A and B are shown apart, each in its own frame.
Chain A
């Protein structure tokens, strides 16, 4: 785990059941490490992720949100991730427009065979968010534990 100024970011990763979640599993069974502060939420398909989920994650204290799904063309439900791609491109670009740094959000395609990529992506994402520091802009201060 990388730490700067003793700050450990909270990362929420939405992983699709068919590819990325299995990819995370493979990373584990291959003994490839990824930061323990990545909290994985399993979703049936990446297109299950409603923009509200992303915003709620930030509200509840996430410092970064990453969305992982099957590679375009490989979706278990055939077209799900094509819609995700458009939706999340627009949403993340919009959040950046509202002042939420673009480094805090990311979409990655991780297949069930890409355990190594999963670990790499998570390490990289955590490093970037750590460098940015705490997310104060979308956080609900009332849920903060002191």
Chain B
């Protein structure tokens, strides 16, 4: 057990013992080290199943939409990027801020299960970050992999180590704030011809099995009634799904969260087909930044989003490409 994990579990125990907080939302041990799942803990004994390691990628913010309604106060552990989603949900009145006690926790970037698996690393018993590497202790000995090879795509372009909301934090090691260019791949796609882009997306999206995991996990997708659940929507088909429906689903999904997407990258993390869905959201983020000014959803818990506001001098649609493509 790492020092950080120990401190977090201690924190959870103190909070539960205090009496005011009725439950803690965290991650529960799975069968293996790499399959923790989000869970609520109501008693100190139950905390023996609590786990926090680099496989705990799940963003717990969305779970609060239901949990905060229960009696008493709820405590939650949020990684820096999850805190943006939390703020955004508070802004959308989906979570009552005063019902939740937020504990910000340290994060060094989370691991992508499928990347670890592709590297042939199995039987993992523990793992730790060591500089630019991740060291895995496995049943078959020590294996070292570079961070770039095994980290989730979203963590390779981490948006910072700052919690935008936290009642207190559990951070042991102060670590550097590495922010890299998250739009690099978007720019690469923009530089292609329309034909190449279509081929790229067709290749990616045709893998889609319409499991709706990207929608269900997304903290911005919190509507009580979803357009995709409407049998008349024309996109409910699965058996005779065609290119159009895949495109439509993903265009609409990304459009519906535009201006509200905090770029938490959960969509790409949960995609069983490993479609880089965050590239769709990032296009909207990039366009909003260049057309309507830099905007980070979730940074503030108040105010309007770019798509629910306007200025009289907004760019005319016919000039959009001149601005967004810098041509």
Binding site for B on A (CB under 8 A): 51-52, 55-56, 58-59, 72-73, 79, 82-83, 85-102, 106-108, 137-142
Contacts and interface: CB of A to CB of B under 8 A. Distances in A.
Contacts of A72: 312, 314
Most chain A Cβ neighbours within 10 Å, of B186, B198, B227: B198
A75 to B, nearest CB: 11
Interface stretch (B12-20, B112-120, B261-269, B317-325): B317-325
Contact of B248 (A59, A79, A85): A59
Contact of B194 (A79, A89, A101, A106): A101
Most chain A Cβ neighbours within 10 Å, of B186, B190, B244, B288: B244
Contacts of A86: 291-292, 306-307, 310, 314
Interface string B298-313: 0000000011101010
B199 interface: yes
Interface string B236-251: 0000101111011001
A53 to B, nearest CB: 11
B198 A97 contact: no
Contact of B317 (A98, A107, A142): A107
B255 A139 contact: no
A108 B317 CA distance: 8
A94 B247 contact: no
Contacts of B143: none
A94 B254 contact: yes
A99 B199 contact: yes
Most chain A Cβ neighbours within 10 Å, of B186, B194, B307, B320: B194
B252 interface: yes
Contacts of A93: 283, 287, 320-321, 324
A96 B321 contact: yes
Given A83-B310, A87-B307, A94 B287 contact: yes
A71 to B, nearest CB: 11
Interface of B: 186, 189-190, 194-202, 227, 233-234, 240, 242-245, 247-248, 251-252, 254-255, 258, 280, 283-284, 287-288, 291-292, 306-308, 310, 312, 314-318, 320-321, 324
A96 B194 contact: yes
A51 B255 contact: yes
Given A86-B314, A93-B287, A98 B201 contact: yes
9 contacts: A85-B317, A86-B291, A87-B307, A89-B314, A90-B287, A94-B255, A98-B198, A101-B194, A137-B198
A90 B194 contact: no
Contacts of B201: 98-99
A12 B97 CA distance: 46
Nearest to B258: A90
Contacts of A98: 197-198, 201, 247, 251
Given A98-B197, A98-B247, A89 B255 contact: no
By Cβ-Cβ distance, the 7 closest A-B pairs, closest first, are A99-B198, A107-B317, A82-B310, A99-B197, A140-B244, A89-B320, A89-B317
A113 B299 CA distance: 45
Given A96-B194, A99-B198, A52 B320 contact: no
A30 B242 CA distance: 44
Given A85-B314, A86-B292, 18 more contacts: A52-B252, A73-B312, A83-B307, A85-B310, A89-B317, A90-B288, A91-B251, A94-B251, A94-B284, A98-B198, A99-B200, A99-B201, A100-B194, A100-B198, A107-B318, A137-B243, A138-B244, A140-B244
B322 to A, nearest CB: 11
Given A97-B197, A98-B198, A55 B248 contact: yes
A97 B324 CA distance: 11
A141 B284 CA distance: 29
Contacts of B284: 90, 94
A51 B252 contact: yes
Nearest to A72: B312
Contact of A92 (B194, B197, B252, B317): B317
A62 B83 CA distance: 43
A48 B24 CA distance: 43
B257 to A, nearest CB: 12
Contact of A97 (B227, B283, B292, B314): B283
